[in-house]
Structure formats: C-alpha cells, structure tokens
Amino acid sequence: MRLHAPGAGGSLAISLTAPPIGVFLVLRRMSLMGDAMGHAILPGAAIGYLLAGLSLFAMSLGGFAAGLAVALAAGLVARSTVIREDASLAGFYLLSLALGVMLVSVRGSSVDLLHVLFGTVLALDDGALLLIASIATVSMMTLAVIYRPLVMECFDPQFLRSVSPLSSPTHLIFLVLVVLNLVAGFQALGTLMAVGIMLLPAVAARFWAEDVGGMIGVAIASAFASSVVGLLVSYYVNVPTGPAVILACGAFYLLSMLVGVRGGVLWGLMPRRHLEA
C-alpha cells in the first residue's frame, strides 16, 4: 500500500512555495489579508465550475482573476475613500465568500461544495500536480528576483520609496504571488484551508528564527513535516487530508508558541540574570 503520489507531490510542492509567501505576509502585518484573499478566490472558482464543471483550468483561472480583482479593488477603495485597506478587504472577502457558496450551491451538490471549500488532496491528478509545480517554480524564481526590495519594504517601506521606484511594482508582484499560491493551495486544500499552510508555518517560524532567511527555512521545513504527518494520519486513520495537514501545522505552531527559543512562553517564564556581561 502506498500514498497517492500526485497528492503527496502536490502537498510537498505547496509546502515549498507557500510558506515563504506567508513569512512576508507576517513581516508586513498582512496575515489577515492572506486569509481574506483565500476566500476571495471562491466566486471565481465557482464561476469556472458553473461554466465548465470540475475543470482544473477554468476553476484556477477564475480563482486567480477573482482574487486579483478583490485585492486591487480593496486597494483602490482604501486610496479613494476614508475606509482603510483592512476594512475594505474584509468587506470584499465576506461578499466573495457568500457569493461563491451561493454560486456553487446553485448547480452543484453538497459534495461539490465541500470539494471547493475543503479540497481533496488525494484526488489530485497529474494535471493538477503540474499546475501546482509550475506555480511553485514561478513563485520561487520571482521571489529570488524581488527578494531584496521585498525585505526592504517589510522593514522600511518609506526608505525604499525614497531611493527606488521598485516599491509599487514589488507590492503588486507580491500580491500576484499571494493569489497564485492560494490558487495552487485551493487545488489540494480548498479555499478555506489553503491559507493555513501559507500562514501557520510562517507564524511558527517567528519563534525559532530572527532573520528572514532563517524564518523561511524553518517555515518550509515545518510545512514539509506537517504535510507528511497530515498525509500519513489521513491515510491510516481515514480522516480528511486537508484538515489533517492544517492541524499538523497548527500543532507545530502551538508547540513553537510554548517552547520556541525566540519568545516562547516557557522561555519567557524562565528566570533571567539581573546583570549580563
């Protein structure tokens, strides 16, 4: 007996590319934006489903278009009204979630709705695996190109704007990467779970590393381990795979919060010397 190879490969590919995106979301204090964007892709995926059924290409293209449209619309509203970007994004995300659920329910069954919301890792085929691997490759190459301005924008965006014209293009490219990786995660984990593998390892990594490179390394390693653990638990205990993977990520986050060497609860309770050399 063996695990479903495309499902395992898809989970590991997502674990390679989504956590670094999550690290930058955490550093830029945009974690909730990632969650909102995960829901924003739902109506686009639902429209693709209505037009072409459970078509990989149609649902992915619709999800990408919807996610990017919501991100740009939220930014435009924030710049042209008194509403802040987080509030604007929250409004669009709630509308998107409700619209997407309604659209899927119009034509599909409850099984189709659960498939869209929670994903089916073990049902991935070779086409889905190829799409996820392609997004992972493009994302890693793009991150390598924009890494320096992206790090600078996380810590001192005003300085980046004053010395370089790359601030706005970097922000836009980063939003595209967020949406792309949510689309990839949606194929395996569904719209409600895709953001989990992006953000939970990134948040947990903050308890183990201080620099950006270290956080990315820890986040990828924990996502890989959580994917393997989740797949094995799902396989042997016969529970849904997506939630099992995200619960494994959550378990590592809770463990990191307790024993992490950089601000963990137990380390904070340990007595410290009054005078240090």
Give me the tens of pLDDT residue by residue for the chain, a chain 277 residues long: 455 555 577 788 899 999 999 999 999 888 777 777 887 888 888 888 778 877 778 888 888 998 888 888 877 887 788 777 677 777 887 888 788 778 777 766 655 556 666 666 656 777 788 888 899 999 999 999 999 999 988 888 787 788 888 888 888 899 899 999 988 888 777 767 788 899 999 999 999 998 999 999 999 999 999 999 998 898 888 887 888 899 999 999 999 999 998 888 887 777 666 555 4
| Domain, as residue range, for 163 | 5-190
223 in Cβ contact with 249 (< 8 Å): yes
Q: What secondary structure does DSSP assign to 106-163, as a single string? A: HHS-HHHHHHHHH--GGG--HHHHHHHHHHHHHHHHHHHHHHHHHHHHHH-HHHHHHH
Taking each helix axis from N to C end, the angle separating 5-27 and 126-155, rounded to the nearest 10 degrees, works out to: 10
CATH code, domain carrying 116: 1.10.3470.10
| Residue 261 counted as domain residue | no
Please answer whether residues 198 and 25 qualify as being in contact, where contact means their C-beta atoms are separated by less than 8 angstroms. Answer: yes
- pTM value is 0.86
* Number of structural domains the chain divides into: 1
Is position 28 within any domain? Answer: yes
* ∠ Cα 101 85 166 (to 5°): 115
Who contacts 149 (Cβ-Cβ below 8 Å, separation ≥6)?
160, 164, 166, 167, 170
Domain annotation covers residue 256: no
Tens of pLDDT, residues 88-120: 777 887 888 788 778 777 766 655 556 666 666
Task: Examine residue 26 and state whether it is found in any structural domain, yes or no.
Answer: yes
Condensed to tens digits (0 to 9), the pLDDT of residues 205-217 reads: 999 998 999 999 9
Residue type, 86: D
DSSP code at position 82: S
Answer yes or no: is 176 within a domain: yes
